[in-house]
Amino acid sequence: MPRSPFKIVTVAALSLVLAITGVIWYSHSAAASDAPYPPLHAHHFQISDTYVPGSPAIQPHLARSGSGSISGPAFTQDDVIAYLNRYGFFAGPVVSGAHMKILSVQFVTSKRASQLMNGESVGRPDNALVCYVKVQGPFSLANSHAGSFATSKPAPTTAEYGDAVFDAHTGNLLVWGVYFQ
Amino acid sequence: MLTKQPTDLHATGIPTILEDKYFCRLLVLGMILAVVVLGFSLDTSPIASASARIAQMPLTGYCNNPNPHCYATRDWYGHTGGSFTRIQPFGKLDCQGCVGFVDDEMWFADPYSSQCTSVGACWVEAGISTYALNNPNSCNHALASTCLFWADNRPGTGGYHEHPMFYFGSIGVNLSAYLVDETLYNSSSYSSSGSSWSISVAIYQNGNLIATPSGQSTSNSMNVDDIRIGSELSDSKGYADIFELEHNQFRDTGTGIYKYQTTTGTNTSTNPPPTGYWATSPCNCQGNTGGAYATYDH
């Protein structure tokens, strides 16, 4: 078989193309295996999955009992008041000229806190100890993820009252809300 | 005679290697292989696809909706007992210096029943959002963060409540490694009517299931008539890379089976930003997987 410079160059070019192709193929395969698409609906709801830790908020500091378990709250009502006075309420700032009033701070069961929120879930078992707080604004809704649905009633931009629930042991925020009526 | 004979090939200077039929076959095969693999790779890489889309997008101005919240959203109307979407991020949500937020999420709503119109609408929602530095609701307190949340707006004196679910990282963290599967549905039946609704979330990182935070909306009497997907913005400083809401499904009230959306729904967006478009449209056709609705805020 005769050999020419063109043939050598062509073979070299072809080898290069095949090598690049191989690298790309391998990279694509590796990426696919690193991030496979999981099946849809693979997870089934369990009520225990609703007991999420919540967001870190009030620092717990009260000592544990001798057994190491906590039966009472790990922070005080004054801690809650100090926290809200420092950071404000969760919905957003109070409207110009207004001042937030803290109407009540109560350590209650999760079930009772749900009742105080007119049936909103707390994300804790019924007998878990939590701290329920009620406040008055009015508050802007800058932090509210409220939808805007086409109805005859425009979406509110402020709310007069709000409330929140903290885990009584960790101090974490579990839920906050606002009321328009 | 115009027909070229083999000797003509030599005469025109074309190299003799082309006479080697095995070499020619190898050359053609290699070229076909290269073209196919290169094309496949570029077409199916999410990052490459997203980058290509970014290059084609016009820049937009700030939202001018009088309501301080703006939307890039699509709605499917009709009674249903559940909904599903998969949020696939191609980058980050960012809101440096914001008071408000930018998010991507799904709503499951009743805008029409009388007990709901009196409070605007009733709904359950869940999604990924930014939380500003000064927001005490941040899931990593005192740090600007990116978090998963769920919320509901209930009839009567129920009000609006919001629940933190999962901490992804600081604000602007790259979320490309994540997939977030959200299912919102009637907790007790296949019906569109009920008062207890499950929020079931599965979070995948690099394809591995890492968390299943969930929630339950209670004392929430709705007859669900609206599934909404998209992005919400409540600040002029928001930035969002492309996020796709994919595999959009509704739950059949008779069988309880989840079915893919087959239409592009109704555009309920405000003026951009955020911006939304169908990267892949749902269709009543073979191979339909509920489409991929993409949103961004640049």
| B81–chain A Cβ distance below 8 A for any pair | no
- Domain extents for chain A? 57-179
**pLDDT tens per residue, range B37-48:** 444 443 333 333
Tell me if B51 sits within 8 A of B221, measured CB to CB. Answer: no
Q: Encode pLDDT of B196-227 as tens digits.
A: 999 999 999 999 999 999 999 999 999 999 99
The per-residue pLDDT for A169 is 96
Task: Give the count of beta carbons closer than 10 Å to the beta carbon of residue B112.
Answer: 17
Q: Hey, are the CB atoms on A121 and B109 less than 8 Å from each other?
A: no
Alpha-helical segments (H) within A5-71: 5-34
The ipTM is 0.80
A interface mutation test: which of B18, B214, B235, B257 has the most A CBs within 10 A?
B214
Residue where the block lists tokens 């499917």? B76
CATH of domain A57-179: 3.10.450
Asked if residue B55 has pLDDT above 60, the reply is: no
- Given an 8 Å threshold on Cβ–Cβ distance, is A117 in contact with B101? no
Rounded distance between C-alpha atoms, residue B215 and residue B164, angstroms: 10
User: A27 to chain B: which residues are within 8 Å by CB?
Assistant: 41
What CA–CA distance (Å, rounded) separates A132 from B256?
37
Is the Cβ–Cβ distance between B249 and B258 less than 8 Å?
yes
- CB–CB of B209 and A121 under 8 A? no
Residue range B134-144: mean pLDDT, rounded: 71
Q: Distance (Å, rounded) from C-alpha A20 to C-alpha A111?
A: 64
pLDDT confidence bin for A4, thresholds 50/70/90: low
A161 membership: H or E segment, kind and range = strand A158-167
| Percent of chain B whose pLDDT exceeds 90 | 65
- The three-state secondary structure class of A74 is coil
Distance CA A77, CA A133 (A): 9
| Residue B199 · residue B126 · CB < 8 Å | yes
B100: pLDDT strictly greater than 90: no
Q: Quote the distance between the C-alpha of residue A130 and its chain's center.
A: 18
B37 vs B12: CA distance, rounded Å: 35
A14 vs B177: CB contact, 8 Å cut-off? no
Question: What are the pLDDT digits (tens) for A132-160?
Answer: 999 999 998 888 887 778 665 677 889 99
| DSSP structure class, residue A5 | H
**Interior angle at CA A155, CA B194 and CA B126, nearest 5:** 50
- Between positions 86 and 105 of A, the ones with CB within 8 A of B are 87-90, 92-93
B257 touches chain A (CB under 8 A): no
Closest chain B C-alpha to A135 CA, distance in angstroms:
14
Q: Does residue B59 surpass a pLDDT of 50?
A: no
Query: Is residue A168 within 8 Å of residue A131, measured between CB atoms?
Result: yes
Q: And the tokens for A50?
A: 């609703």
Domain ranges of chain B: 17-56, 69-297
Out of 2.60.120, 3.10.620, 1.10.1760, 2.40.30, which CATH number does the structure's domain B69-297 have?
2.60.120
Residue A93: list chain B partners with CB under 8 A. 99
